[in-house]
Structure 1
Amino acid sequence: MGWRILADATMVLHFAFVAFVVAGGFLAWRWPRAIIPHLIAAGWGLAIALFRFGCPLTWVEDRARERAGDASLAGGFIDTYLTGVIYPERYLVQVQVLAAVAVAVSWTGVAVRLRTARSS
């Protein structure tokens, strides 16, 4: 039972991480110090997407599911829980572009807010 809880908790944490990668820059509009953790998270997310690095959260979830007697994820976290579930697989590239646009817009907003605050 404990391994299954760990696997599920890791899955929830992974959803939160992906949401933070996509939208966390908008938090920095209100809390400017949030931009540093967001830069790190977005960089890690980009590296995983571009270079197909294995994500440590996926590894933890897989090991916990295996120890609980369940099958590990057939693919990565995105492949299992998002692609084909939240959006059709054929739109993967468009979703990735939209995520990148959201990050760019959030960072632009942070820069504008910081510049405005400094000039006041």
Structure 2
Amino acid sequence: MMYRFIADIAMVVHFLFLSYLAVGGFLAWRWRRTIFAHLAVACWGVLSVVTGVECPLTLAEDWGRRQAGLAGLPASGFIDHYIEGVIYPEEYTNLARLGVAVLVLFSYAGYVLRRQ
């Protein structure tokens, strides 16, 4: 029971992390100090896409699922399991990544303009 809870919490935190990656730059328009947290999240996002490094949240969820006697996440990871093919078709992965990048860059441009 506890391991399943750990897996579920890791999944929820992962979704929150990805949501913050997409729109967290806009929060910095209101709360300026949050830009540093968002820069760290954005850097991690780029690092994971470019290098394929596995996210600790994916590892935590997979571990919790396996310890609870459930099937682990597929080798392709969290995004392939929960997002690609579920929220958008797999063939639009690069378009979705581009959309998030544009959203982040737009939020940063707005941050800079609002700061002046």
TM-score of Structure 1 vs Structure 2, range by shorter chain: over 0.9
Q: Indicate whether 1:14 and 2:21 are aligned.
A: no
Aligned counterparts of 2:48 and 2:71: Cα–Cα separation in 1: 23
Structure 1 residue runs without a partner (length 5+): 116-120
Aligned counterparts of 2:2 and 2:32: Cα–Cα separation in 1: 38
How many residues are treated as equivalent by the alignment?
115
**Residue pairs, 1:1-120, within 5 angstroms:** 1-74=1-74, 75-115=76-116
TM-score for both structures, normalised by structure 1: 0.94
Residue aligned with 2:88, SS: coil
Q: Root-mean-square deviation (CA), in Å? A: 0.5
TM-score for both structures, normalised by structure 2: 0.97
| CA deviation after TM superposition for structure 1 residue 76, in Å | 1.0
Structure 2 residue runs without a partner (length 5+): none
Question: Which structure would you say has the larger Rg?
Answer: 1
